[in-house]
Structure 1
Amino acid sequence: FFDTSPPLLFPGNHLRLCERQVFPSFSLARKGGLKMTRGFCSKPQESKASSQRAVPLHKPTPWEKKIMVWSGRFKKEDEIPETISFEMLDAAKNRFRVRVSYLMIALTILGCVIMVIQGKQAVKRHETLTSLNLERKALLRKQEEEAIKSKTD
């Protein structure tokens, strides 16, 4: 007597309602494709025994142990068990990647700020790219003139 279904205001619920009424033998799979719920086209149900498979374990290398410590998963390398799951290792590597990317962002911003400060100091000393270029070209012209004079003598 009690309706335990979610409210019908959400767009996905309208789709499911129409789907049940128009095509009762089809249902939308979670990954977006259609599948048969009855008949020969349905995917065989996995048994509970197959879903409770043993999780493959991995013996971490010294580098992976350091990543586990740096990512904050363990406080010391001694606390890391001999074998760990791949999911734990992947989570630690992802966390480490995020921390490294944050560090790179901070270093990039710091480098930009330093370059702006140095640029403003160079402007105060009147060291612009234009003046440096003019000085370099004048020096090259002077060297060419000296080379021409030495060849003619």
Structure 2
Amino acid sequence: MWAAAAAGRATKMLERNFSSILRPTKGMDLKIKRGFCSKSQEGSKQKPEVGGHSTFKVPGHKPSDWEKKVLMWSGRFKKVDDIPETVSFELLDAARNKLRVKISYLMIALTVLGCIVMVIEGKRAVGRHESLATQNMERKARWREDIAQSASAKP
């Protein structure tokens, strides 16, 4: 009998907890309650003021000659003269990443080209009846001749 009373209390407690979770709160947007966020809420947040300034600015970076070449090769600027005296770190990172992608595409193309050249050369070698086995047999025959000549030359 005491088990039935304990079970009744447990169900009442569960009903109370679940009903409060499932019941929508008055005046609350369901998107916020479900954990979704929207761009308008993110944009409305104000950044705290630090030292009297409204925002913290990342200082610019004076690019070296190599970094200027990277900026040009990545396609961001056409000439060295077009590059400003200071650029952001994000701009340099984006240029480096773009250059990495271009270099990887170039390496892929060179690898495929090299494979095609090797296949063509291999087919030409088969046409000339050249193979590694015949080359090894010829090399070993030359070694035997050299050994025989050196043995006959020694009295």
TM-score where L is the length of structure 2 = 0.68
Matched, 1:99 2:125: no
Distance 1:119 1:73 in 2: 43
Unaligned runs of 5+ in 2: 1-26, 37-44
What CA deviation, in whole Å up to 9, does each residue of 1:81-113 have, x standing for no partner?
000000100110111111111111111111111
Structure ranking higher in strand proportion: 1
Identity across aligned pairs (percent)?
53
Correspondences of 1:10-89 after superposition (within 5 Å): 47-50=47-50, 52-89=55-92
Structure 1 position 52, deviation (Å): 2.1
Matched, 1:5 2:8: no
Whose relative contact order is higher, 1 or 2, with alpha carbons under 8 Å and at least 6 apart? 2
Structure 1 position 49, deviation (Å): 2.4
TM-score where L is the length of structure 1 = 0.68
Quickly say closer, same or farther: Cα 1:151–1:56, change in 2 above 3 A: same
Structure ranking higher in helix proportion: 2
What CA deviation, in whole Å up to 9, does each residue of 1:30-70 have, x standing for no partner?
xxxxxxxxxxxxxxx99432582112210001111111011
**Number of equivalenced pairs:** 117
Unaligned runs of 5+ in 1: 7-12, 18-44
In structure 2, the residue corresponding to 1:99 is in which secondary structure?
helix
Higher alpha-carbon Rg? 2
Pick the aligned partner of 1:143 from 136, 140, 146: 146
| Aligned AA (1:131) | T
Structure 1 position 75, deviation (Å): 1.3
Kindly report the root-mean-square deviation, in angstroms, between the aligned alpha carbons of the 2 structures. 2.5
Structure 1 position 2, deviation (Å): 9.4
